C-alpha cells in the first residue's frame, strides 16, 4: 500500500487535545490525517469517523452540505467519550477534486442534483477510495470501530478491509433550505440512512 505514516504531534482544539497523525499517499501525492484521543489500540471498539475533505463545508462554512457540521459533531462526540479517532481523507467532492466540485455546484445551481451533476461531468456518483484507510488503521492498531456515519458504503468498505464495525452510530445534523435537496439525494440515490426527525 502506498500510504505511509510520517509523524505525529499534539493538536489542541476547542473540544480536546488530540494527537494528529500525518500520513502520505506517495502514489496519489496526497496527505491524510488521523486525529486520535485516548488509547485507540485496545480490543474495545473505538468511536470513529471516516471523514472526506470538504473545503467548502469544513472550512468555508458552506450551507450546501452537512459536512462541516458532521465534522464538528464527530469531534465533539469523541471528546465527550474521551476516546476515539477521526480519519480525515483528502478526497474532496466525493473524490472529484475541488475545481470539479465547483463545476458540479454550477450544474446544481441550474437544477441538477448532486449525483446528476457528477455524472454530467463524466464521474461516478461517488469516486472515493476507502482502501487508503487500511494502513492508517494498521499503524494505530485499530481493528474494531463504532463507526459514526449515515453512509452504508463506508460500513461495507471497512468490513471488506477486515475492520470490524461493531455499531453504526448515526451522525445526523439539521437541514437548511440550501442543503435539503442534497440530503434528499443522498438518501434516495446513495442509500444514506437518516433517522426520522
**pTM over the 0.85 mark:** yes
Q: Are residues 157 and 186 in the same domain?
A: yes
**Annotation says 129 is catalytic:** no
Closest CA to 66 of 181, 139, 172, 192: 172
How big is the CA angle at 51 (ends 97 and 147), to the nearest 5 degrees?
150
The band of 42, judged by pLDDT with boundaries at 50, 70 and 90, is confident
Q: Are residues 116 and 139 in the same domain?
A: no
Q: Are residues 87 and 7 in the same domain?
A: yes
Residue 186: per-residue pLDDT = 61
Q: Kindly state whether residue 46 falls inside one of the protein's structural domains.
A: yes
Q: Are residues 74 and 150 in the same domain?
A: yes
Whether 49 has a binding-site annotation, put simply, is: yes
Could you list the residue range(s) of the whole structural domain that residue 37 is in? Answer: 3-91+132-190
Q: Kindly state whether residue 177 falls inside one of the protein's structural domains.
A: yes
Which one is predicted more confidently, 34 or 129?
A: 34
Q: Which residues pair with 9 in a beta bridge?
A: 20
Say which DSSP state 170 is in: P
Q: Are residues 123 and 46 in the same domain?
A: no
Whether 52 has a binding-site annotation, put simply, is: yes
Q: What is the pLDDT of residues 52-109, one digit of tens each?
A: 999 999 999 999 988 999 999 999 999 999 999 999 999 988 889 999 999 999 999 9
Whether 51 has a binding-site annotation, put simply, is: yes
Residue 191: per-residue pLDDT = 57
Whether 94 has a binding-site annotation, put simply, is: yes
Q: Kindly state whether residue 106 falls inside one of the protein's structural domains.
A: yes
Of residues 126, 146, 153, 160, which has the active-site annotation?
A: 126
Q: Are residues 87 and 149 in the same domain?
A: yes
pLDDT over threshold 90, residue 196: no
**Annotation says 128 is catalytic:** yes
> How far apart are the C-alpha atoms of 116 and 164, rounded to whole Å?
33
pLDDT over threshold 70, residue 183: no
pLDDT over threshold 50, residue 136: yes
Q: Kindly state whether residue 197 falls inside one of the protein's structural domains.
A: no
Domain final residue pick, 127, 143, 171: 127
Q: Are residues 55 and 87 in the same domain?
A: yes
Whether 173 has a binding-site annotation, put simply, is: no
Whether 114 has a binding-site annotation, put simply, is: yes
Mean pLDDT of the chain: 90
Q: Are residues 96 and 86 in the same domain?
A: no
Of residues 4, 128, 153, 168, which has the active-site annotation?
A: 128
Q: Are residues 7 and 23 in the same domain?
A: yes
Residue 26 Cα distances to 3, 55, 132, 171, angstroms: 6, 22, 11, 31
Q: Are residues 145 and 84 in the same domain?
A: yes
* Percent above pLDDT 90 for the chain: 70
Amino acid at each position: 500500500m502506498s500510504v505511509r505514516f510520517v509523524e505525529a504531534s499534539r493538536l489542541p482544539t476547542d473540544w480536546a487535545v488530540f494527537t494528529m497523525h500525518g500520513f502520505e499517499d506517495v502514489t496519489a501525492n496526497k496527505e491524510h490525517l488521523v486525529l486520535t484521543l485516548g488509547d485507540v489500540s485496545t480490543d474495545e471498539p473505538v468511536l470513529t469517523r471516516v471523514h472526506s475533505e470538504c473545503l467548502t463545508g469544513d472550512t468555508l462554512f458552506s450551507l450546501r452540505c452537512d459536512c462541516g457540521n458532521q465534522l464538528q459533531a464527530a469531534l465533539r462526540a469523541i471528546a465527550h467519550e474521551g476516546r476515539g479517532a477521526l480519519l480525515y481523507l483528502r478526497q474532496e467532492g466525493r473524490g472529484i477534486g475541488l475545481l470539479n466540485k465547483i463545476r458540479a455546484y454550477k450544474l446544481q445551481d441550474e437544477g441538477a442534483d448532486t449525483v446528476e451533476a457528477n455524472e454530467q461531468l463524466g464521474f461516478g456518483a461517488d469516486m472515493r477510495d476507502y482502501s487508503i484507510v487500511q494502513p492508517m488503521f494498521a499503524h494505530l492498531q485499530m481493528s474494531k470501530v463504532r463507526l459514526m456515519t449515515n453512509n452504508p458504503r463506508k460500513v461495507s468498505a471497512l468490513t471488506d478491509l477486515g475492520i470490524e464495525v461493531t455499531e453504526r452510530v448515526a451522525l445526523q445534523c439539521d437541514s437548511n433550505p440550501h442543503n435539503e435537496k442534497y440530503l434528499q439525494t443522498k438518501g434516495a440515490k446513495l442509500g444514506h440512512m437518516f433517522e426520522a426527525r
